A and B are shown apart, each in its own frame.
Chain A
Amino acid sequence: MSATINATAPRLVVENLSTSFPTEDGLVRSVAEVSFSIAPGKTTALVGESGSGKSVTSLTLMRLLPKTANAQVSGRAEFGTRDGRRVDLLQLPNEAIRQLRGNELAMIFQEPMTSLNPVFTVGEQIAESVRLHKKLDRAAALAHAKRMLDLVEIPAAAQRLHEYPHQLSGGMRQRVMIALAMACDPTLLIADEPTTALDVTIQAQILVLMRRLQSETGMSILFITHNLGVVAHHADDVAVMYAGRVVERANVRPLFATPQHPYTQGLLACLPGKAHAAGQPRPKRLFAIRGQVSSPLAPPPGCAFEPRCDLAVAACTQAMPPLVAIADAREARCVLRSAA
């Protein structure tokens, strides 16, 4: 396969990804029929609330689900490697996925304190991945680690290299996580709520940093978040998830301008920041989505959002509606849209 095709082909194409976990109370379908793609150099956001399946999606793609969970995974996740091959991340043998992970595929997690090893210096942790993947010796790897700390704008990098995670602030730790992820120059970065544990002024620093690194390296980002404000400014494409399924997919501007699925509409309407335009009086009540997410052990027979939906009709209780195309690069999973 030639490099020119590779430059325009999506870096990752996920089709019909499903992940289920057997439990004592029955099979829990955490992720079902999830499809999306990410173009080179672009950011796709997976948005949803707790339990919507965002993190399980990312862990499934990275093959990081614990063996003891006995996850049942189906679907495809086609990834374009640096050398022009297209591989299915879900089918690769363990050894092959380990070659990619931390190398071409990197991940940053929400909690920078628990995802760094407390007993190794940050320099050693960054150096480990380049020693493994780039076969650098110890000294060269540490020199590379210092360059990575410079890259993520950590002041006095030469000194920080020899510090332990507990000596760093939350924002600095997240910079170290990013340095670690960037160490082997990945082409796909999965960022699972990377700024959720941070204060807003620190969040702004980290988001600007991620954007700079993306424009310099051309990496693709799968951005997992519940924060619609962050999505609005840092994603190109958005997939909204509810109860394990994608309920709407669109480019970021049309999604916020004309949300199609009642859940997306509700999610945007209930944000206090969207409740009134500048200078307008605040409304008496915020829009609220009633009720709560159904238990994954007892999903409703039809659409998962039907019990909370103000627009539900009889057909909604019959069967899970399919995700249908409603415009260019736009899809929604709602009977009201498929009828139109």
Chain B
Amino acid sequence: MDNGKRIKVIVSMIGLDGHFTGGQVVSTILRDAGMEVVYLGTYQTPEMIVQAAIQEGVDVIGISSHASNYNLIGELVDLLRKKDMDHILVICGGTIPKQQILKLKEKGVAEIFTPQSTSKSIVNYIVSKVRGANGGPNK
């Protein structure tokens, strides 16, 4: 990955989930940490998110989820794979139950951030994954 650029992240809700507070709070956290955030808002389909990810050339897709059957997050990961875009890191945040966390990780979601996660843990995780474990020149 290009270490000279700012880390670019999509923050989005998916499907019919109309809850946007969590996504807005996390967007601010990531911006404060120096990342470029593309905030897509509500009612995004997997197709719309993947298209935006390609257009914007993002490093990470972050899905904020209030509650769901988590069907569409799996579809998002599959679609990225189909389009050969699975180098883009997919992470999720929200009040996601443990059983679902296991299922989503099996599907290929890199990490799930629950209400237990601190701002720092989210930022550090993204930086270490995008820049590599020992950090890039921007770190």
Q: Say whether A and B bind each other.
A: no
B binding-site residues for A, Cβ under 8 Å: none
